[in-house]
Amino acid sequence: MNAPLPVKPFYHKLSHCLIAIALITLGIYLGQDIIVPLAMAVLLAVLLRPIENWLLRLGIPKVLAISIAVTLAVLVLAGITILISMQISDFSDEWPKLKRNINDAYRDIRRWIRREYSVSYRQQDQYLKKAQTQTLENFQSAETLGIVTGPLGSLILIPIYVFLFLYYRAMLLHFMVVLFADKYKEQVMDIVGEIKSIIQSYMVGLMLETGAVAVMNCIGLLILNVQYAILLGVMAAILNLVPYIGGLVATVLAVMVTFINHPDGYTLAGVVGVFLAVQFIDNNVLVPLVVGSKVRINALVSIVGVLIGGALAGISGMFLSIPAIAILKVVFDRIDGLKPWGILLGDQTPEQAKRNLFKTIKEDDVRDPG
């Protein structure tokens, strides 16, 4: 008779979990130049899969169908890039005027600081020089070659990765199935199918949301007669792809550009009002209706995940953080030992959480903390 295996203490499991998390985090940070393009390619491959299926049903060979789907995606992205580049080229002619307005505002701010806080111009210059020195040191410590060549290399590799992921899709699924024991095969296929559904829903919803936000931004800015309204509206919608933080950056950018031809406070306040209204509609209508129907993650985890993604892999990490958390939630919800973490990532309301709490434990054995 075999003796039962000893139960490992909690600190033993905890130490293993912490070591695993640390190794994964370090691996993502050190290998972000490889991991981020691969993750982007996976999202695009899942998004293009329905187009590939449609082309296959028309009798087009697999290689040609994948090539057409990838080419269409590249053409759409190239068209958006060309449109934004043309707008930016026109905007560059206004740079001297922006510089004059900024200098005028800078002098007004310096006079106000000297009057209100008794800080002399010389002291202000010393503070600015110190801040500039620290900023330059941070830039010099970065690897300039990696900053320049990293995005360019990714742009070249991502279409290749997308093509290969679509071409070898069946092989990768077969690998995922045989990687686990036979008794888990059905569970693995369920998880893979749910992840595919979530990614497709998230990416399609994200495109619809981005288009709607761009239209609302452009309409609001055109009503205010703001110059470069189309450029600002589209760029703000693209920046909005970065959850929570992108909207703030877009608002600041729009105010700075508007300051060129409309330095008066009423127009600037109107621009801020437009972006706040669009953000309100986006967060309370579009995201729950279009994007959040499948990706059910609470706001606290989303914000923390975006910040962690930014710390590990920059802006790309911020964008990838939400689908990554959604994938983790799918896995956690279907593995018994990880279900508590799935609850932590979920978006239960306080009332739902309390009801679920008292379904799990007996009401007589615990006092309601609320």
Which of the two residues, 157 and 105, has the higher pLDDT score?
157
Q: Are 291 and 226 in contact (CB under 8 A)?
A: no
Q: Is position 113 within any domain?
A: yes
Nearest alpha carbon to residue 251 among 232, 224, 265: 232
Q: Is position 61 within any domain?
A: yes
Instruction: Flag whether pLDDT at 206 surpasses 70.
Output: yes
Give 60-95 as a DSSP string: --HHHHHHHHHHHHHHHHHHHHHHHHHHHHHHHTTH
Range name among 26-35, 142-151, 186-195, 257-266 with the lowest pLDDT average: 142-151
Please, which pLDDT band fits residue 67 given cuts at 50, 70 and 90?
very high
The mean pLDDT of 241-261, rounded to a whole number, is: 74
* Cα 236 from Cα 246, distance rounded (Å): 8
| pLDDT at 334 (0 to 100) | 81
Token pair 């949301």 is found at 209
Residue 154's SS3 state is helix
Q: Is position 363 within any domain?
A: no
Q: Is position 106 within any domain?
A: yes
Q: What percent of the chain has a predicted confidence (pLDDT) above 90?
A: 5
Q: Are 69 and 346 in contact (CB under 8 A)?
A: no
Which of the two residues, 106 and 370, has the higher pLDDT score?
106
Q: Is position 361 within any domain?
A: no
Q: Is position 317 within any domain?
A: no
Q: What percent of the chain has a predicted confidence (pLDDT) above 70?
A: 74
Q: Is position 39 within any domain?
A: yes
Against a cut of 0.75, is the pTM above it? Answer: no
Give 244-268 as a DSSP string: THHHHHHHHHHHHHHTTT--SHHHH
Instruction: Flag whether pLDDT at 149 surpasses 50.
Output: no
Q: Is position 211 within any domain?
A: no
Q: Which domain holds residue 98?
A: 32-138+150-167
Count of other CB atoms within 10 angstroms of residue 277: 13
Count of domains for the chain: 1
